[in-house]
């Protein structure tokens, strides 16, 4: 089976699940290390392509399908804000580039280093291999395009019922979850939900490779560098 990779950002870097004739997982410190892995498609849960003004069409389309899980999809800030390394400067930049003016949450700001890391590497040509996905959209697709009832986390802690539901959906959708080797990562580097989201990303990567994925929006806009702003499932 042609290998594909699903990737989720984590505290230790990037957790990558490679799905070919077997399953494996890899903790990569840098995204360029992910790119060096053998795979025809890499699906990553991180924005690719930034708008000049805050917000992208794709997030609005995806939220409309996720029901109670829509809060898992955040509005992507303006490119100028993402490029700021100081929180106050980022808020000021986003205020100037949003209508109505919006500041930034600290949670989103803490994702900026990973956003910038991918942005520095991405080109329109590389988007033939590297695709943006969202795990909750993947689980929505696995669930018959129906929103899930249970979250993965509540108040910052894992929700056992929500994790079990997503494991069940992965297995029913054909992802060989029982074959995944046990992880040996420190929880401060890779959380249980990080590895699960990387599995969902790998499932989406397989659908992309086979031409079965759904793309939102159907005709995605491009940012100032020509990168498609889309989410695949």
Residues 137-148: tens digit of each pLDDT: 999 999 999 999
Report the mean per-residue pLDDT for the chain.
95
Which of 34-48, 57-71, 141-155 is the least confident region? 141-155
What's the predicted TM-score (pTM) here? 0.95
Helix axis angle, 135-142 relative to 57-66, nearest 10°? 40
Q: What pairs with residue 13 in β-bridges?
A: 10
- C-alpha gyration radius of the chain: 17
Q: Give me the domains of the chain, ranges plus CATH numbers.
A: 4-49+56-73+122-232 (3.30.420)
Which two tokens mark 104?
């930034």
CB 201 within 8 A of CB 133: yes
Question: What pLDDT is attached to residue 155?
Answer: 57
> Which range is least confidently modeled, 22-31, 94-103, 216-225?
94-103
Quick one: residue 145, left, alpha or beta (phi over 0 = left, psi -120 to 50 = alpha)? left
Mean pLDDT in residue range 47-70: 93
Q: Could you report the per-residue pLDDT of 170-186, keeping only the tens digit for each?
A: 999 999 999 999 988 99
Q: Contact at 8 Å (CB) between 6 and 17?
A: yes
Share of the chain above pLDDT 90, in %: 86
| Nearest by Cα to 175 from 154, 205, 219, 133 | 205
pLDDT in tens, 10-19: 999 999 999 9
Above 60 in pLDDT, residue 50? yes
**Cβ proximity of 25 and 11 under 8 Å:** no
First to last CA, the chain: 20
| pLDDT tier, 192 (very low <50, low <70, confident <90, very high otherwise) | confident
């Amino acid at each position: 089976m042609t290998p594909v990779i699903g990737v989720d950002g984590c505290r230790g870097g990037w957790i990558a699940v490679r799905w070919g004739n077997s399953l494996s997982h890899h903790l990569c410190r840098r995204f360029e290390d992910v790119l060096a892995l053998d795979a025809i498609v890499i699906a990553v849960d991180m924005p690719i392509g930034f708008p000049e003004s805050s917000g992208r069409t794709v997030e609005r389309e995806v939220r409309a399908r996720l029901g109670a899980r829509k809060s898992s999809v955040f509005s992507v800030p303006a490119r100028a804000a993402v490029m700021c390394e100081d929180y106050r400067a980022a808020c000021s930049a986003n205020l100037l580039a949003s209508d109505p003016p919006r500041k930034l949450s600290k949670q989103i700001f803490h994702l900026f280093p990973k956003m910038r890391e991918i942005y520095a590497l991405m080109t329109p040509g590389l988007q033939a291999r590297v695709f943006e996905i969202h795990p909750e959209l993947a689980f929505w697709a696995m669930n018959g395009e129906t929103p899930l009832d249970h979250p993965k986390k509540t108040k910052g802690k894992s929700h056992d019922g929500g994790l079990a539901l997503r494991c069940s959906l992965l297995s029913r959708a054909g992802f060989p979850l029982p074959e995944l080797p046990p992880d040996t990562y420190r929880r401060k580097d890779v959380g249980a939900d990080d590895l699960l989201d990387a599995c969902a990303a790998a499932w989406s990567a397989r659908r992309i490779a086979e031409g079965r994925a759904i793309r939102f929006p159907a005709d995605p806009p491009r940012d100032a560098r020509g990168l498609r702003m889309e989410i695949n499932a």
